[in-house]
Amino acid sequence: MKAKNSKLKVRSLFRRLFTIHYSLFTLFLLFTVHSSLFTLSGCGYTLQGRDTLPFTSVKIGRIENRTFEPKLEDKFQKALADELIRSGIMISKNAGHVISGTIYDLKLRPLAEKEGVASEYEVIIKANFFLTFPDGKVKELRNSGVFTVSFSGSGNIENIVAAKEQAAETAMRNLASEIRAGIVYGI
């Protein structure tokens, strides 16, 4: 009888402990969710969906390349199209909204040197982009100024040129991402 009584006491103790732990876990989970939502909403972050976009389609107009870097405008157009489509904005030749702009400077500047030879570079891209609305109103897109990407330039000249090309593509993707953010969050 004592063994049965002690088994019942142990079971009762485990039930109480489980109930306490379950309640604490539930409170912790509710606190975490509440504080996360409070933090996100308090910092200005919003969840963007297709229904909250300012428009559903856009035309990529003339992208002018005033640098000596060949095909930079093509790299940017591809990066911008990828960014916009990923956000739910379709690219259409018949769209009322038009993105256009100019890439007017691309510089390769040494950041560090090793034994008298530049070992790390940065690519600086300057550009201006605009969004034209169907009514003719033009808005400069935010963060369309200077974009910097650094890369290591060790080895022979072919490696440096390849790294520069990769850095220029990364800078174009960064620029496209900023243009997309200006459209989605800045209008």
**What's the CATH number where 114 sits?**
3.30.160.150
Cα distances from 127 to residues 78, 87, 103, in angstroms, run 16, 22, 4
Q: How are beta strands 57-65 and 98-114 bridged, if at all?
A: parallel
128 and 141 share one domain: yes
25 and 12 share one domain: yes
Q: What is the pLDDT of residue 124?
A: 81
Q: What is the pLDDT of residue 135?
A: 92
Which 3-state string (H, E, C) describes 25-65? HHHHHHHHHHHHHHHHHHCCCCCCCHHHCCCCEEEEEEEEE
In the three-class reduction of DSSP (H, G, I as helix; E, B as strand; rest coil), residue 149 is classed as strand
Average pLDDT in the 173-185 region? Answer: 83
Phi and psi at residue 133, in whole multiples of 5°?
-85, 165
In the three-class reduction of DSSP (H, G, I as helix; E, B as strand; rest coil), residue 115 is classed as coil
Residue with structure tokens 């008298």?
Answer: 116
33 and 58 share one domain: no
Using pLDDT thresholds of 50, 70 and 90, give the confidence band for residue 170. confident
The neighbouring-strand residues paired with 126 are: 105, 146
Count of domains for the chain? 2
22 and 80 share one domain: no
7 and 96 share one domain: no
| Closest-CA residue to 183 (of 93, 104, 86) | 86
115 and 160 share one domain: yes
- pLDDT above 80: residue 36: no
25 and 96 share one domain: no
- pLDDT above 70: residue 183: yes
112 and 20 share one domain: no
| Residue ranges making up the domain that contains 15 | 1-45
In the three-class reduction of DSSP (H, G, I as helix; E, B as strand; rest coil), residue 155 is classed as coil
172 and 109 share one domain: yes
Amino acid at 10: V
Q: What is the pLDDT of residue 42?
A: 56
181 and 130 share one domain: yes
- 187 and 97 in contact (C-beta within 8 Å)? no
Q: Return the number of other C-beta atoms located less than 10 Å from residue 20's C-beta.
A: 10
103 and 144 share one domain: yes
Using pLDDT thresholds of 50, 70 and 90, give the confidence band for residue 168. confident
- 84 and 50 in contact (C-beta within 8 Å)? no
21 and 101 share one domain: no
Out of 75-84, 126-135, 159-168, least confident range: 159-168
